[in-house]
Structure formats: C-alpha cells, structure tokens
Amino acid sequence: MGQLLIQEVGSFWETHPLCASAIPYDLGTPEYFRYYDRLREANESIQFSYWLHEYPAFSGKKVLDVGVGNGYVLSKYAYEGARVFGIDLTEMGIGLSRRRFERLGLKGHFIRGNAEELPFESDTFDCVCSMGVLHHTADPAKAVGEIYRVLKPGGRLIVMVYHRNSVLYRLKFPLMSFVTGKTMQQLVNEVDGVGNPKGSVFSKNELRRLLIKFKDLDLSISLLQRWMFFQKAGCLFSDRLLRKFQKYLGWFLYAKGRRP
C-alpha cells in the first residue's frame, strides 16, 4: 500500500511541479525561475526565509533538503556557503534544481529518491529541511525517522506542513465540501492540483507528536490570505488584520528543532 501510494505521489509531482500551472513560462527557463521566486516570496518573504532557515549559520556545513522541488531553498544555503544535497521523488524536481544551480553558478548534489528511505549514512548532515513535503508523502512518520537518522546529533531540523487549525481547513473547506460534495480529504489533496493522491493537515500537537524525538522544538504559523476565505468575504479584512491573525490561523505550520 505504502509503495503504491509513493508511486502515485511521484507520478503526480513529476507532471505537476510546484506552482507550474500558475507560471506562464516554459519550465526551467530564466523567466520561469524569476516568476516562481516572486510567487514564493509573496508567501514567504526573504527576511522570513532567512530567519527560518538560518542560511549563513550553515556556511561550510552539510545541508540536505528532502523534497527539494525546484531548488529554491537549497540554492540559498548553497549561496551562503553550505555543502548542499537535494533529494526528490521526481526527475522533474532534480532536473529543475540542477538547472537553477547551473544558472546561479552554484554547486549542489541532487539525487532522485524517497524521503522514507534516504540514501545517506546515519549522522551525516548538520541541517535537514523539508518544506511542504511530509504532508504529501505516504508515511510521514517514516520520513521523519529517516531525517532523524541522517542528522548529526545536535543537527538542525526545519520542516513545514499544512495547518489543521487554519481558516482554510476549518472554514473554507467545510463550506466548499458542503457546496461541491467533495470530501475534506479531497480538498486537502487538491491544494497543489487536482489528482494529487496525498495531502494531510497537522495541528501543533499532532506535529509535536510526529517530531517527538527532537528537542528544542519551536513551532510557528504563517500564511493567511484573502482567497482562503469563502468567496468575497476575504475583502472584508485589511492586510494588517490578516497579518495579525496569520500566526494563529495561517495555512503553513513550521517547526524548528534539533536532534538530541
């Protein structure tokens, strides 16, 4: 069952790289990366990204990005001097990441593989990040076990998953489910595109339980935007109000921690 689901997950992302349907340029072109980066930075500012990932702290250190996507985050670690490794289920992700790195003149190692069976020795990395991946893999606990194994003792963990207690999950999806007849599970699966076989949501407590073996856990929430409210209701809220409430009701749940 797990293997079958992983194959389906891989097939989906192979043909639906993150945000590609919203980008009006050919995959892997300079315009594509510029457009993607602008979309990304509208959701996660560079300032936030530097706070979250602590890029300069890993200069000269080994960093692994699990589910590297098109290499956006990993390229920032490489730019700040880290020795970087990216793994992804898809040829598409590996190809796009290589293209991004070539374009920027950065060095990185990219491997096609599964987060649930990481092809690395134990105690290898100073930092492992995995952004927007654990909620899509077949067995998140297995992937977390692998991340723990390949981190060095004291190594940094940084992850992001979908947030259960968000406006999207608690307000918009129940209403959409009522109107469209789709199940909540279907609606979560479809956040990154129709046909995605696996999406899941986590409360802070559920994420803490998933990461129980890590110490110094620090959880935070972000991303609350107008489209997450039903129809035009989002227009009733000012940017200031959305920013104020995003740390409670946003869609992205982040965790930072350390391997003991």
CA distances for 19 relative to 23, 29, 69, 103, 112, angstroms: 7, 14, 10, 20, 20
The reply to whether 211 sits near ligand SAM by the rule CB under 6 A is no
165 phi and psi angles, rounded to 5 deg: -90, 55
CA–CA separation, 238 and 57 (whole Å): 36
CB of 233 to ligand SAM, least distance (A): 27
Q: How many CB atoms are closer than 10 A to CB 42?
A: 9
CB of 114 or CB of 246, closer to ligand SAM: 114
Q: Which of 23, 99, 116, 259 binds ligand SAM (CB under 6 A)?
A: 116
The reply to whether 108 sits near ligand SAM by the rule CB under 6 A is no
Distance, first Cα to last Cα, the chain:
32
CB of 52 or CB of 89, closer to ligand SAM: 89
Structure-token pair, residue 57: 């702290």
DSSP string, 110-174: EEE--GGG--S-SS-EEEEEEES-TTTSS-HHHHHHHHHHHEEEEEEEEEEEEETTSHIIIIIHH
Q: Which stretch binds ligand SAM (CB under 6 A): 6-14, 205-213, 215-223, 243-251?
A: 6-14
The reply to whether 192 sits near ligand SAM by the rule CB under 6 A is yes
The reply to whether 64 sits near ligand SAM by the rule CB under 6 A is no
CB of 40 or CB of 62, closer to ligand SAM: 40
CB of 72 or CB of 173, closer to ligand SAM: 72
Structure-token pair, residue 141: 């606990």
Q: Which of 52, 61, 63, 69 binds ligand SAM (CB under 6 A)?
A: 69
CB of 131 or CB of 242, closer to ligand SAM: 131
Size of residue set near ligand SAM by CB under 6 A: 23
The reply to whether 144 sits near ligand SAM by the rule CB under 6 A is no
Which amino acid, 234?
Answer: G
The reply to whether 18 sits near ligand SAM by the rule CB under 6 A is yes
The reply to whether 58 sits near ligand SAM by the rule CB under 6 A is no
Structure-token pair, residue 207: 């994420």
Binding site residues, ligand SAM, CB under 6 A: 6, 9, 13, 18, 67-69, 72-73, 87-90, 93, 114-116, 131-133, 136-137, 192
